[in-house]
């Protein structure tokens, strides 16, 4: 499926390829016959040992680094006739009450999740035009249904979805599909990293403000402890399907929890908010006392 009419492997540029969904996806795409240009910031993980994977250093938050990556990919023989797809998979989760999120963390959230895909798409469009390719943006279920204490990730992915919908119309003249994949909670290190970053941020927050949210944080921690993350394979399958489909859908939803949030988003606002507040334990939370 990954070969072009000349019998050569088609190329795909993939960000966030060093671990989690990205590494598993790189393996799956090469198995399906593609050459994967694996965008990595520093750590290559196991990519050096994978056939038909070409690690490409890139910092998606730096437009200059992204341009350099596009130039490097463009010089490779596997991209001589352009690219079949660009997959914007790199992402981070910033969580916690918005009042307690440091400005630098909020900025990092949008730089990686929203601006990064915009920079990558801008730089790689010439290769996509040459290859009759497509853009695949990995969003999140919280883009469609924002959740409390997840405002930064919800907002950054909602912005990415809006960019995708607008650019889909802009690129229609060249027949370049723009596809959004919405995963649910997935068994990857990103959630542990988000929790650690949130604890660090809370540790440097004003003690008085932090005390106000003691009940919120305890309820959220209880919800997260009970959360059952789905397998990486279900997300990988959705993205790989979006990459191979002759007529891809605008959106692919991966996971029963993501589908549940999509259904929840259709409910009247009052009903929706009561259900979310109840499921997050916030209906029983009373305001904490400032220290």
Task: Evaluate if residue 173 carries a pLDDT over 60.
Answer: yes
Q: Report the pLDDT value the prediction gives residue 197, as an integer from 0 to 100.
A: 74
> Can you tell me which residue has the tokens 């939370």?
285
- The predicted pLDDT at position 205 comes to 77
Q: Domains, the chain, ranges and CATH?
A: 11-206+229-263 (3.40.50.720)
12 close to 84: Cβ distance less than 8 angstroms = yes
Tens digit of each residue's pLDDT (9 = 90 or more) over 107-158: 999 999 999 999 999 999 999 999 999 999 999 999 999 999 999 999 999 9
What's the whole-number mean pLDDT along residues 167-183?
97
**Which carries the bigger pLDDT value, residue 101 or residue 227?**
101
What CA–CA distances, in Å, run from 21 to 16, 54, 235?
Answer: 8, 17, 7
Q: How far is CA 60 from the centre of its chain?
A: 12
Local structure of 55: helix, strand or coil = strand
Q: In 220-237, which positions are buried (b, 16+ CB within 10 angstroms) versus exposed (e)?
A: beebbeeeeebebebbbe
CB 149 within 8 A of CB 220: yes
Give the rounded percent of residues in the chain with a pLDDT score beyond 90. 73
Contacts of 265 (CB under 8 A, 6+ apart): 144, 145, 272
- Across-strand partners of 14? 38, 87
Our CA dihedral for 265, 266, 270, 271, rounded to 10 degrees, sits at -90
Whether the pLDDT of residue 32 is over 70: the answer is yes
pLDDT per position as a tens digit, 90-108: 999 999 999 999 999 999 9
By percentage, how much of the chain surpasses pLDDT 70?
95
Average pLDDT in the 241-246 region?
97
Burial class (CB in 10 A: 0-12, 13-18, 19+), 66: buried
Q: Where are the alpha helices (DSSP H) in the chain?
A: 20-31, 63-75, 103-110, 116-131, 141-144, 151-170, 190-204, 207-212, 214-226, 232-244, 256-265, 269-279
Q: Is the pLDDT of residue 277 over 60?
A: yes
Q: What is the mean pLDDT of residues 200-222?
A: 85
pLDDT at residue 230, rounded to an integer: 83
DSSP symbol at 9: B
Confidence of residue 5 (pLDDT cuts 50, 70, 90): low
pLDDT at 184 over 90: no
Lookup: tokens for 30: 């090469």
pLDDT (0 to 100) of residue 194: 72
Is residue 162 scored above 80 in pLDDT?
yes
């Amino acid at each position: 499926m990954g070969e072009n009419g000349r019998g050569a492997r088609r190329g795909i540029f993939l960000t966030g390829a060093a671990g989690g969904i990205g590494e598993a996806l790189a393996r799956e795409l090469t198995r399906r016959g593609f050459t994967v240009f694996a965008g990595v910031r520093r750590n290559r993980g196991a990519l050096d040992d994978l056939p038909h994977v070409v690690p490409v250093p890139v910092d998606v938050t730096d437009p200059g680094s992204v341009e350099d990556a596009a130039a490097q990919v463009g010089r490779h023989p596997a991209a001589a006739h352009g690219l079949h797809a660009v997959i914007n998979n790199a992402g981070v989760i910033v969580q916690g009450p918005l009042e307690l999120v440091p400005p630098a963390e909020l900025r990092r959230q949008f730089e990686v999740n929203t601006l990064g895909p915009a920079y990558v798409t801008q730089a790689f469009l010439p290769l996509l035009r040459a290859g009759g390719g497509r853009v695949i943006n990995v969003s999140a279920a919280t883009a469609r249904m924002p959740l409390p204490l997840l405002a930064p990730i919800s907002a950054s992915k909602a912005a990415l979805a809006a960019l995708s919908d607008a650019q889909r119309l802009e690129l229609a003249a060249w027949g370049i599909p723009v596809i959004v994949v919405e995963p649910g909670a997935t068994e990857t290190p990103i959630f542990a990293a988000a929790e650690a970053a949130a604890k660090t941020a809370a540790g440097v927050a004003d003690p008085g403000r932090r005390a106000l949210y003691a009940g919120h944080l305890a309820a959220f921690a209880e919800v997260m402890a009970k959360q059952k993350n789905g397998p990486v394979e279900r997300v990988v399958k959705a993205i790989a399907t979006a990459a191979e489909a002759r007529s891809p859908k605008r959106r692919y939803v991966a996971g029963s929890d993501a589908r549940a949030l999509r259904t929840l988003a259709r409910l009247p606002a009052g009903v929706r908010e009561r259900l979310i507040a109840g499921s997050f334990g916030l209906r029983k939370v009373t305001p904490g006392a400032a220290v």
